[in-house]
Amino acid sequence: MNMTHYMELLADNQPWNLLIFMAIPIVLAETLAITELYILFTRKFDGFVYRLNRFSGTTVGLYFIGLIAYLMTTAVLPITKNDEWRTAIDVIAVAAYLIGGLPLIWIALQEFGFVNKALDQMGKLKIHAICVALFLVFGHIAMIAGMLDPSLLGYKGVNTHQMGGASSSADHEFCHPEMHEQMKGTYQQMMNGGNMPSGSAGKKPMHLPGHSH
């Protein structure tokens, strides 16, 4: 089955790519979402949970700044330049993953006081909740599209053609017709005489006809 670049990224360099691009940001975002719900229900803007919420928000936002910058320079731009996107499925998967990080970056900017300065605690908390919801929506779109086979929209993997060509070439190279005839003759002698030829006759099949040493 052909894979999107999204799935290929997660599958390569196990388990590090899976940890870096999936596990760490998901754990931070889920921590942010859970603590968000707790604060919304309790209205406690102090204590451990509130500090954990702020830590998760700032950390995951900064983390996604690094991820997006890295993926844009090492993957998205080179793939686009070389026209190597594997149909719209591939584009949707990667784009949704990158877009999903933007709301979390907005949360980090808010925590550092760069945006939404005029909002009170509840107003900022509502922005948190909206941003987390957007991240979850785009994150799930990326996962679903990323797990699809690009061949559904007509993508043909290069590997299949190359493997077929290599197999055909190998068959042509190693099936020498003269050696094949010698092996066939030896087999017939075994079937007729019951024993392998001995002496010099037994050595003859080792040499191709017409070759001298």
pLDDT score at 178:
54
Same domain (yes/no): 151, 191: no
In a domain? residue 168: no
Same domain, 196 and 104: no
Same domain membership, residue 93 and residue 197: no
176-189 average pLDDT score: 54
Residue 65 belongs to a domain: yes
* 136 and 182 share one domain: no
pLDDT(144) > 50 = yes
Residue 197 and residue 133 share a domain = no
pLDDT score for 184:
54
User: Looking at the structure, do residues 147 and 189 belong to the same domain, yes or no?
Assistant: no
Whether 61 and 115 map to the same domain: the answer is yes
| Per-residue model confidence (pLDDT) at position 170 | 39
Whether 11 shows a pLDDT value over 60: the answer reads yes
Judgement on whether residues 53 and 96 belong to the same structural domain of the protein? yes
Distance CA 99, CA 109 (A): 16
In a domain, 183, yes or no: yes
Mark 164-196 as b/e (b = at least 16 C-beta within 10 Å). Answer: eeeeeeeeeeeeeeeeeebeeeeeeeeeeeeee
Phi, psi dihedrals of residue 10, rounded to the nearest 5°: -70, -30
Domain count, the chain: 2
Instruction: Give a yes or no: residue 149 inside a domain.
Output: yes
| CA–CA gap between residue 27 and residue 99 (Å, rounded) | 18
**pLDDT per residue as tens digits for the range 85-143:** 999 999 999 999 999 999 999 999 999 999 999 999 889 989 999 999 999 999 999 99
* Residue 169 placed within a domain: no
In a domain, 212, yes or no: no
Secondary structure, 3-state, the chain: CCCCHHHHHHHCCCCHHHHHHHHHHHHHHHHHHHHHHHHHHHCCCCHHHHHHHHHHHHHHHHHHHHHHHHHHHHHHHHHHHCCCCCHHHHHHHHHHHHHHHHHHHHHHHHHCCCCCCCCCHHHHHHHHHHHHHHHHHHHHHHHHHHHCCHHHHCCCCHHHHHHHHHHHHHHHHHCCHHHHHHHHHHHHHHHHHCCCCCHHHHHHHHCCCCCCC
Judge if 181 and 145 occupy the same domain: no
- What span, in angstroms and rounded, lies between the C-alpha atoms of 100 and 142? 9
Whether 137 is covered by a domain: the verdict is: yes
Amino acid at 97: Y
- Sorting pLDDT into bands at 50, 70 and 90, what band is 172? very low
Residues of the chain with pLDDT > 90: what percent?
65
186: confidence class by pLDDT, cuts 50, 70, 90: low
Q: Is residue 213 part of a domain?
A: no
The domain in which residue 19 lies consists of 5-161
Is residue 67's pLDDT more than 80? yes
Q: Does 205 score more than 80 pLDDT?
A: no
Give residue-wise pLDDT tens across range 68-88. Answer: 999 999 999 999 999 999 999
Q: How confident is the model at residue 195 (pLDDT cuts 50, 70, 90)?
A: low
Name the pTM for this structure. Answer: 0.71
Query: Do 180 and 157 reside in the same domain of the chain?
Result: no
Query: Do 155 and 186 have their domain in common?
Result: no
**Is it the case that residue 210 has pLDDT exceeding 70?**
no
